[in-house]
């Protein structure tokens, strides 16, 4: 019998009278709060602009031709909204210190302005001194980095057009940008990310493209050169509608990987030479935006997608050795549609857990999904006097599997005149497994620290008359629940 998310229970001689999880599947995110911004919000980033040790939000408003700044509050919410005019139909957004004054500035791509608006940060956390710089047609994604090694922060944009190009704007001393260079990719580039993929101390670029001229999408990687230009190119096939992209070491091998949305989430694994291979696909809703972070504190990178076509956020959890699993969806639909557009990650309420911020284009607001502690799951079994049974304990909380170091507590709770007689626990290899233990003392819970494996079989025996014991199986994941309780 399968009981939710892989929890299986069997009891001999049909002695099972009732079986139910004590609560619904726990969510990793909850406590949603919504905050108004401008009309048609798209891109979003989370940064501390006013140096108060609280994360703020910057959001582009496509229909209002401006951006909104929401300042973080002590309760984890946002207030003090400030709007700043930019170009026509702003889309993507990035922050960095562009003029070298140690204050964070903003750069925004303007879809129908075919340019980038730069706003310069002020000591009070506000912005002024807007400058516009021409780029390619219909710019969407934008990144910042020192591409030419002059200690000035440059910009690169993905330009959604059939001209199949990205634009690099090189920073000038004292602020401003010049020396524009365009580089060929494939048709309708959308997302862009920068990192040093080949470990040569030069920044590279990875770009998602909706059309590779053969009816499919792809990801194009351009490798940085010592003179600040981009040379060697590597293409990776993908589905159409390739949109958001992010980078991180998803399989723990020390090399940067790529995660991007293309109707699903695709992982491309980095190799020692800085190239990519071995893609894996996981359905998480398709984007258009994606972020990465360790949402469950297990040391593995997870991903979260803002899914415009589904009105939800899809979260998938990293697995040992690479890959994703334990998919969860969090709906954002309040009225007929919300259309999530952009997504950002940060600890907004300063509780030590990563939260999510999502722009809702159809509602003109930002939704904050606050991370919640994953509670122990509880399984209640009632059996008749003298009968025996067993519980197959498998991964229960989505995204979490038993690994070495997992703490598992088994507790027998007698009811009425019953006595709880015995626990006998074995791992995947039964009595030959090093996890094998047996306990008769019913006054103390049986605490196991697992050496490995993904399944434990717990046998029980009850007796004494009337209804049997209630068996409570509490699962505390080391590094997740135990550490969170200490916070």
Predicted pLDDT of residue 211? 72
List, for residues 317-345, the tens digit of each pLDDT value: 888 888 887 777 888 765 445 577 899 99
For residue 65, report the phi and psi dihedrals to the nearest 5 degrees: 55, 40
Tokens of 240: 């159409």
Instruction: Measure the CA–CA gap between 246 and 474, rounded to whole angstroms.
Output: 36
Predicted pLDDT of residue 95? 97
List, for residues 48-97, the tens digit of each pLDDT value: 999 999 999 999 999 999 999 999 999 999 999 999 999 999 999 999 99
82 Rama class: left (phi>0) / alpha (psi -120 to 50) / beta: beta
Instruction: Measure the CA–CA gap between 312 and 79, rounded to whole angstroms.
Output: 24
Predicted pLDDT of residue 12? 22
Banded pLDDT at 170 (limits 50, 70, 90): very high
User: Which whole number is the average pLDDT over 129-158?
Assistant: 96
Predicted pLDDT of residue 48? 97
Distances (CA, A) of 384 to 264, 290, 393, 422, 470: 48, 51, 21, 15, 11
Q: Which of 71, 91, 228, 252 is nearest to 157 (CA)?
A: 91
Banded pLDDT at 438 (limits 50, 70, 90): low
User: Which whole number is the average pLDDT over 479-486?
Assistant: 28
Has residue 205 got a pLDDT over 80? yes
Burial class (CB in 10 A: 0-12, 13-18, 19+), 155: buried
For residue 390, report the phi and psi dihedrals to the nearest 5 degrees: -150, 160
**Higher-scoring residue by pLDDT: 443, 220:** 220
Has residue 478 got a pLDDT over 80? no
Tokens of 89: 């139909």
Q: Which of 171, 194, 161, 168 is nearest to 182 (CA)?
A: 168
Burial class (CB in 10 A: 0-12, 13-18, 19+), 373: middle
**Higher-scoring residue by pLDDT: 426, 259:** 259
Predicted pLDDT of residue 237? 83
Predicted pLDDT of residue 239? 74
Q: Are the beta carbons of 193 and 176 closer than 8 angstroms? A: no
Instruction: Measure the CA–CA gap between 428 and 449, rounded to whole angstroms.
Output: 15
Banded pLDDT at 200 (limits 50, 70, 90): very high
């Amino acid at each position: 019998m399968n009981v939710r998310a892989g929890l299986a229970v069997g009891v001999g001689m049909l002695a099972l009278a009732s079986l139910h999880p004590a609560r619904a599947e726990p969510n990793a995110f909850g406590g949603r709060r919504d905050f108004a911004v401008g009309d048609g919000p798209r891109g979003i980033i989370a940064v501390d602009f006013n140096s108060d040790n609280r994360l703020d939000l910057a959001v582009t408003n496509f229909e209002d031709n401006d951006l909104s700044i929401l300042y973080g509050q002590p309760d984890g919410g946002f207030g003090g909204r400030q709007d700043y005019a930019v170009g026509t139909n702003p889309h993507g957004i990035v922050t960095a210190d562009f003029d070298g004054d140690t204050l964070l500035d903003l750069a925004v791509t303007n879809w129908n302005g075919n340019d980038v608006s730069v706003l310069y940060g002020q000591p009070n956390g506000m912005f002024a001194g807007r400058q516009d710089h021409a780029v390619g047609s219909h710019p969407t994604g934008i990144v910042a980095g020192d591409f030419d090694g002059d200690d000035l922060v440059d910009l690169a944009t993905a330009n959604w057009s059939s001209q199949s190009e990205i634009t690099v704007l090189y920073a000038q001393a004292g602020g401003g940008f010049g020396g524009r260079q365009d580089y060929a990719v494939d048709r309708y580039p959308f997302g862009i990310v920068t990192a040093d993929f080949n470990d040569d101390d030069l920044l590279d670029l990875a770009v998602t493209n909706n059309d590779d001229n053969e009816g499919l999408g792809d990801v194009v990687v351009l490798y940085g050169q010592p003179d600040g230009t981009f040379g060697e190119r590597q293409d990776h096939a993908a589905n159409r509608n390739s949109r958001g992209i992010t980078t991180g070491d998803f399989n723990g091998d020390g090399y940067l990987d790529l995660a991007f949305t293309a109707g699903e989430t695709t992982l491309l694994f980095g190799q020692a030479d800085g190239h990519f291979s071995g893609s894996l696909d996981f359905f998480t809703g398709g984007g258009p935006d994606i972020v990465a972070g360790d949402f469950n504190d297990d040391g593995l990178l997870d991903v979260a997608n803002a899914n415009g076509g589904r009105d939800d956020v899809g979260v998938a959890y990293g697995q040992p050795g690479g890959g994703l699993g334990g998919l969860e969806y969090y709906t954002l639909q309040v009225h007929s549609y919300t259309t999530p557009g952009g997504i950002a990650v940060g600890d907004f309420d300063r509780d030590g857990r990563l939260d999510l911020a999502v722009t809702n284009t159809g509602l003109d607001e930002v939704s904050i999904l606050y991370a919640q502690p994953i509670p122990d799951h509880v399984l209640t079994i009632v059996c008749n006097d003298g009968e025996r049974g067993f519980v197959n304990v498998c991964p229960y909380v989505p995204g979490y599997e038993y690994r070495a170091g997992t703490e598992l507590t088994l507790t027998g709770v007698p009811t009425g005149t019953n006595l709880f007689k015995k626990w006998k626990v074995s791992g995947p290899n039964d009595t030959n497994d090093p996890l094998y233990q047996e306990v008769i003392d019913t006054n103390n819970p049986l605490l196991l620290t697992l050496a490995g494996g993904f399944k434990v079989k717990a046998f029980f025996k009850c007796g004494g008359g009337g209804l049997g014991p209630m068996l409570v199986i509490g699962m505390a994941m080391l590094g997740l629940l135990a550490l969170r309780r200490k916070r």
